[in-house]
């Protein structure tokens, strides 16, 4: 299964913010949107970083509550690992496991078109395995 299929089922909504907002604002956005990561954009609308719940926890652990007054740009992950819609689910799962990330922005022709989480991929993988098992049972029952 391709990432394009996952995005087709999930939708291409991506919640974003700018690097100059505070971590407190980012926390409120994560909570309001019920997501685990936000894509950080630069002034031209290009992917500049990713701010995840993990990034927030790390900053609060280092600096205490005062970390919430920092900007997103101070805490975000700058080395963004991305996916393309033509990649397979298994390729992306492998990358997420190897790089220890839970979210991959999906980029096509230099443009952000979606974001996938490890939960999205596991959900699709399980559905695929279940469909395969049902097909096998149907085949065995027919013979």
Q: Are strands 16-18 and 37-41 parallel, antiparallel or unpaired?
A: parallel
Q: What is the pLDDT of residue 33?
A: 97
Please report where in the chains the tokens 């909570």 appear, as a residue. Answer: 31
Cα 82 to Cα 14, 18, 87, 104, 105, distances in angstroms: 13, 18, 11, 5, 5
Span 81-130, pLDDT tens digits: 999 999 999 999 999 999 999 999 999 999 999 999 999 999 988 887 88
CA angle 45, 50, 54 (to 5 degrees): 160
pTM attached to this predicted model = 0.86
Class assignment of domain 3-142? alpha beta
Show me where the domains of the chain are located: 3-142
């Amino acid at each position: 299964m391709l990432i394009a299929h996952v995005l087709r089922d999930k939708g291409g909504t991506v919640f974003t913010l700018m690097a100059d907002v505070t971590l407190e604002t980012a926390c409120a956005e994560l909570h309001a949107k019920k997501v685990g990561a936000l894509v950080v954009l630069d002034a031209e609308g290009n992917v500049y970083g990713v701010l995840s719940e993990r990034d927030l926890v790390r900053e609060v652990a280092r600096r205490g509550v005062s970390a919430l007054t920092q900007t997103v740009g101070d805490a975000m992950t700058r080395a963004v690992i991305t996916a393309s819609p033509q990649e397979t689910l298994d390729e992306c799962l492998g990358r997420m496991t190897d790089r220890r990330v839970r979210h991959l922005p999906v980029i096509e022709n230099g443009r952000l078109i979606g974001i996938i989480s490890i939960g999205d991929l596991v959900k699709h993988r399980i559905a695929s395995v279940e469909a395969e098992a049902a097909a096998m049972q149907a085949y065995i029952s027919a013979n």
